[in-house]
């Protein structure tokens, strides 16, 4: 069943990638290809370097959390784990395949299931905080800077995406530090679902959820006890996201344009695009992210250059990660 779902996700990805390429290239094929093949290779390598930095900072952050539970877990193992995760995130809707894969791989390496779940919970919390922070900075900056057209539907969707991500953070802390409230709410919900015949074994579901709440609570408590690691984990993720968000600027410079956008404008615009990606239920956000990139970066860049930057941006931030992740996953651990 899982294999069929994976194949379906890949088929959907291929179809939407084909559609994106068609609509991106159909009106100005020759000029877009010209922009891509005449870019400055040095700045292009800077763009690739930035995505590598994103992977490395994420790896450093995850490694320090893993070592709390398994001190002999090597940095090389963590790097392989994080790169492989890029592949599983890429082929599943909402990047939902990465975390189960990490739990499986950590468990396979000798980390207990409860501890591997704990690790994923901690990593998720310290990633969401800088993501929401950069989103907040972007929304405030646009409110005062008016970078994008007023009344744009996408702008409101981005605001909704920010609200959703903020709600996730609030929900995580409620789950982490209000066990009694959580259990009461879940008892009500499970009882309701049981009466509606949506779930069959009420007691089993209550027990499963209580175990999950206890693991989540333990993970959050452990995270908050080590304040130095908590802050450093947030900062590592913040730097990683900044590296990721600056890639379009390096690509713009690669095409010889040094005046259309500055670093801050690119950070704000990238944050808008990534918040929009929260709504796209297709593997990699394919289609939605490209449209969002064109819509928001189109306020600064026009013509063939805009489409060329978008295609290279997706190639570096998405398809390169998927390819590197697939290679890392298939490399034997002893190598």
Encoded tokens for 140: 């405030």
Distance CA 284, CA 295 (A): 18
pLDDT tens for 265-297 read 999 999 998 887 766 655 555 657 878 888 889
For 252-273, give the DSSP string: HHHTT--SS--HHHHHHHHHHH
pLDDT over threshold 90, residue 232? yes
pTM of the predicted model, to two decimals?
0.83
pLDDT over threshold 50, residue 86? yes
Residue 54's closest CA among 276, 238, 232, 293?
Answer: 238
Mean pLDDT of 11-22: 57
Which residues contact residue 89 at a Cβ distance below 8 angstroms, ignoring those fewer than 6 apart?
95, 97, 98, 321, 325
Encoded tokens for 112: 């207990």
Contact 305, 257 (CB under 8 A): yes
Domain boundaries, the chain: 2-330
pLDDT for the residue numbered 11:
60
For 168-195, give the DSSP string: HHHHHHHHHH-HHHHHHHHHHHHHHHHH
């Amino acid at each position: 069943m899982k294999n069929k779902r994976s194949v379906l996700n890949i088929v959907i990805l291929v179809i939407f990638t084909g559609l994106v390429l068609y609509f991106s290239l159909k009106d100005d094929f020759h000029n877009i290809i010209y922009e891509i093949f005449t870019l400055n290779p040095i700045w292009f390598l800077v763009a690739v370097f930035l995505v590598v930095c994103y992977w490395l900072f994420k790896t450093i952050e995850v490694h320090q959390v893993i070592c709390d539970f398994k001190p002999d877990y090597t940095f090389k193992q963590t790097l392989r784990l994080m790169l492989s995760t890029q592949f599983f995130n890429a082929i599943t809707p909402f990047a939902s395949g990465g975390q189960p894969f990490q739990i499986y791989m950590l468990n396979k390496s000798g980390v207990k299931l409860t501890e591997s779940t704990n690790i994923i919970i901690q990593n998720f919390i310290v990633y969401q905080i800088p993501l929401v922070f950069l989103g907040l900075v972007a929304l405030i900056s646009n409110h005062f800077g008016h970078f994008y057209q007023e009344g744009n539907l996408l702008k409101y969707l981005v605001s909704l995406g920010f609200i959703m991500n903020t709600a996730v953070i609030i929900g995580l802390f409620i789950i982490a530090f209000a066990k009694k409230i959580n259990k009461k709410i879940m008892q009500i919900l499970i009882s309701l679902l049981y009466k509606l015949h949506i779930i069959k074994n009420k007691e089993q579901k209550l027990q499963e959820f209580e175990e999950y709440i206890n693991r989540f609570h333990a993970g959050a408590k452990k995270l908050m006890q080590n304040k130095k690691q908590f802050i450093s984990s947030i900062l590592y993720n913040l730097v990683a996201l900044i590296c990721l968000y600056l890639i379009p600027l390096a690509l713009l410079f690669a095409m010889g344009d040094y005046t259309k956008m500055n670093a801050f404008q690119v950070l704000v615009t990238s944050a808008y695009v990534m918040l929009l990606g929260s709504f796209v239920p297709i593997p990699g956000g394919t289609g939605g992210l490209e449209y969002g990139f064109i819509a928001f970066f189109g306020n600064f860049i026009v013509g063939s250059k805009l489409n060329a930057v978008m295609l290279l941006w997706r190639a570096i931030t998405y398809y390169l990660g998927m390819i590197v992740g697939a290679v890392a996953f298939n490399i034997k651990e002893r190598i």
